[in-house]
Structures are given as C-alpha cells and as structure tokens.
Amino acid sequence: EGDLVIVDYIGYLADGRVFDSSSSPGRKPLAIQIGKNTVIPGLEEAVLGMQQGGQRIVIVPPALGYGERGVCLGDAGSDCLVPPNSVIEYDLTLRRVSPSPI
C-alpha cells in the first residue's frame, strides 16, 4: 500500500488492436501509487506481487476495466478508443518499485 510502481505497457482490444502503449510517441510508462485508485482496478491488481523487471500478460474483464462507459469521446458506443463492456489485455513490464515515503 502506497508503493509507487513504474510500468511499461501495451493495451490490446479483443480483436488484437493496440489501443494504448507506453512506447507510442508522446506516451510514457505508467506511474501507479498502489492503493490510490489512479488506474483501472485490473491494472492495479495485476502489478501486485510482480517483481522489478517482471513481465505479465493480463486479461481485464469489463468490471475491472472501463466497464459500461468504455473510453469514448462522444456518447457511449461512438468514437471509442475502448468500446463499452470490452475485455482488454495488457502486456506489462514492471520497471521500478519505490517504497512509500510514509
């Protein structure tokens, strides 16, 4: 609880399309402070127990991902990066773990 982890990631939709990646231009690794709900629950759960340098492929169900809202610019279902109720997959590499300062 409270540790800061730095994670490289690639996010895929069920059809294999990449919807986000830390190696895309203008993107950077995720900084996640465990227990602060700064990312979807499926990602936070996935990094628990990982070792620095470890890799993991995770399948995230809608309930632990973006759920009914998805990631859409307009109304749900239109112009969506991640459509509502999507199962998504992440390839993760844990780059660094920093203990909580408290």
- Cα–Cα nearest to 43, from 100, 92, 82, 95: 92
The DSSP string of 76-93 is TTSSEEE-TT--EEEEEE
Question: What would the DSSP string read from start to end of 34-91?
Answer: TTS--S-HHHHHHHTTPPTT-EEEEEE-GGGTTTTT-EESSSTTSSEEE-TT--EEEE
pLDDT at 64: 97
Give residue 56's domain range.
3-98
Mean pLDDT across the chain: 92
CATH of the domain at 69: 3.10.50.40
Q: How many domains does the chain have?
A: 1
**10-54 per-position pLDDT tens digit:** 999 999 999 999 999 999 999 999 999 999 999 999 999 899 999
Please give the model's pTM, rounded to 2 decimal places. 0.87
Report the C-alpha gap between 19 and 13 in whole angstroms. 7
